[in-house]
Structure 1
Amino acid sequence: MAQHTPEDLLSTLKDISTCMFTTVDSTGRLVSRPMAVSHIDQEHRLWFFTSASSEKISDILGEGHVNLSFVADKTWVSVAGSAEVITDQQKKAELEDLGAEAYFSDGAEDTEAVLLSVTPDTAQYWEGPGKAAALVKLVKSSLSSQDSPDMGDHGRVDL
């Protein structure tokens, strides 16, 4: 498969929609939690609703370095970037989705609801052949003098 463009990769992320959102806490530990992407904009920023009292807010208020890990059937994507907390009511109303409505009593208007905006720097992706095909390739390679089996595509995209 050819090298992915930023648009190809962002389309894949929209289809997956849920990631593990990783921050660095005050002690330097990596902390991950599942989060749903509310929106991906034209500038490639990924937007999330979260609670203003969430521990991840204090993690982001430092240097704001984050990693987003997306996984689908045969696709893995790791996005590195920086995050910031957005409290703008107009932006919250613009991006309100089912998640905001489900988690906050007043939806995007809830004072506890804030947005996280992640500006990605780079992304790496891996696409595999699927479990059955991978097993066949592994067995075939182990039984022959063939080099390492081709287990799919890997690439890096600057966002």
Structure 2
Amino acid sequence: MTTEHARFWEIISGMTAAMVTTHDGTVIRARPMAAFIDEDARTIRFVTDNDSHKIDELCRDNNLCLSFADEKKMLYASVSGTGHVSHDRDLIKKLWGPYCDVFFSGGAENADVAVITIDPSQAEYWDNDKGAVSMAVEMTKAYFSDHGPNLGDNAKLSM
């Protein structure tokens, strides 16, 4: 794994939610979901209601995009790939936790849920180690020069 790949997984592992974007015919839809990120397995999963529109949309077109953002740390990531739906109870039990208890009734044994697993094909991240004051200085310098601001590292990755 490259340094950039490792940094990508490190960035998203610190984020608890992602905007999951799917295709609904000609409409592109995004919604926030709690991400279950397994850096070792290189997977991103979501638990969802079994009767949600996301399931129907993925059955028709399994291409999707995930967007992650941590504005306080100025970290951003995007993942494109394919989504696959599973009803595997062992997997549901593995992912189940307090978040799932809040959103789904019946517990890991009986909840009417499915797991969406993302197989990433490409990713991109924006990594900024500057604080807000440094960013303000960077933007001011850019305003008065012919050069754009240095917003940190950006990498596009094939997964």
User: Shift in Å at residue 130 of structure 1?
Assistant: 4.0
Amino acid at match of 1:99: Y
User: Shift in Å at residue 55 of structure 1?
Assistant: 0.7
Pair 1:18 & 2:17 matched: yes
| Alignment TM-score, normalising by the size of structure 2 | 0.87
Taking every aligned residue pair, what percent have the same amino acid on both sides? Answer: 25
| Alignment TM-score, normalising by the size of structure 1 | 0.87
Distance 1:51 1:143, change over 3 A: same
Amino acid at match of 1:44: R
User: Shift in Å at residue 10 of structure 1?
Assistant: 1.3
Q: Structure 2: how far apart are the matches of 1:50 and 1:158? A: 27
Pair 1:118 & 2:154 matched: no
Q: Structure 2: how far apart are the matches of 1:106 and 1:39? A: 24
Q: Structure 2: how far apart are the matches of 1:59 and 1:127? A: 31
Cα pair 1:4 1:157 within 8 Å, conserved:
no
Cα pair 1:49 1:113 within 8 Å, conserved:
yes
Cα pair 1:125 1:154 within 8 Å, conserved:
yes
Amino acid at match of 2:109: E
Amino acid at match of 1:136: V
Pair 1:42 & 2:40 matched: yes
Cα pair 2:13 2:39 within 8 Å, conserved:
no
Distance 1:102 1:140, change over 3 A: same
SS at match of 1:141: helix
User: Shift in Å at residue 96 of structure 1?
Assistant: 1.4
Cα pair 2:49 2:114 within 8 Å, conserved:
yes
SS at match of 1:16: coil
The residue aligned with 1:106 is: 106
Q: Structure 1: how far apart are the matches of 2:56 and 2:124? A: 27
User: Shift in Å at residue 37 of structure 1?
Assistant: 1.0
Q: Structure 2: how far apart are the matches of 1:120 and 1:41? A: 12
The residue aligned with 1:150 is: 150
User: Shift in Å at residue 149 of structure 1?
Assistant: 2.5
Q: Structure 1: how far apart are the matches of 2:36 and 2:151? A: 32
User: Shift in Å at residue 111 of structure 1?
Assistant: 4.2
Distance 1:41 1:14, change over 3 A: closer
The residue aligned with 1:9 is: 8
| Uncovered stretches (5+) of structure 1, i.e. residues with no partner | none
Cα pair 2:105 2:111 within 8 Å, conserved:
no
The residue aligned with 1:134 is: 135
Q: Structure 2: how far apart are the matches of 1:116 and 1:7? A: 23
Cα pair 1:39 1:95 within 8 Å, conserved:
no
Residue correspondences, number: 155
The residue aligned with 2:66 is: 68
CA-based RMSD of the aligned residues comes to: 1.8
Q: Structure 2: how far apart are the matches of 1:108 and 1:38? A: 15
Moved more, 134-143 or 54-63: 134-143
